[in-house]
Amino acid sequence: MRHRVSRYTAGSIICFLLAEVLFVVFFHSHILGAKGSAIAASLIAMIPGYQLNRRWTWGLSGSSHLWREVLPYWITAIFSMVCAALATGAVNDALSHDDRNVRTVAGALAYFATYFVLFVIRFAILDRLVFSSRRTASTEPDLVPTAS
């Protein structure tokens, strides 16, 4: 379990850093607003995030199962993305009279805080519901002694 948590943390950091850089680039350069930047950054980081989680964290290989893995993963990821977009949008609205640099830093902090709070919740969902059945069946040894 500790090994899985460490890998999940490392993978989350990789994806988060990618997303945070994208958020700052999209928002600070006026390409997108706060919510749009959060959505675009999250969507882009979700792609490597799925593979990192599935293959590296949970050690699964082969084809993904649409109903047991892909859809639940994307539902949790999209829920997180919506939360991040709402948080960054609210911070941006609250600071609408401030300089763009201040709003960029505040938005980046709100984006980080949202994903930080959801980090543990997502791990529990992914570990217990999304990747558990395939992992247990394919990668963990049989712990029940068999009669000889």
pLDDT in tens, 11-36: 999 999 999 999 999 999 999 999 99
d(Cα 56, Cα 25) in Å, to the nearest integer? 28
Please choose, from the candidates 49, 59, 61, the residue with its C-alpha nearest in 3D space to the C-alpha of residue 10: 49
Per-residue pLDDT, averaged over 123-142, amounts to: 63
Position 85 pLDDT exceeds 90 = yes
d(Cα 77, Cα 84) in Å, to the nearest integer? 11
Structure tokens belonging to residue 66:
């649409």
How high is the pLDDT of residue 108?
Answer: 97
**Which pTM does this prediction carry?**
0.80
Question: Sorting pLDDT into bands at 50, 70 and 90, what band is 77?
Answer: very high
Q: What's 125's DSSP letter?
A: H
Per-residue pLDDT, averaged over 86-101, amounts to: 96
Of 6-20, 75-89, 117-131, the range with the lowest mean pLDDT is: 117-131
Q: What percent of the chain has pLDDT over 90?
A: 56
How high is the pLDDT of residue 146?
Answer: 45
How high is the pLDDT of residue 133?
Answer: 55
Structural domain spans, the chain: 2-136
Structure tokens belonging to residue 91:
């911070």
Q: Over the stretch 47-65, which tens digit does the pLDDT of each residue have?
A: 999 889 888 887 888 888 7
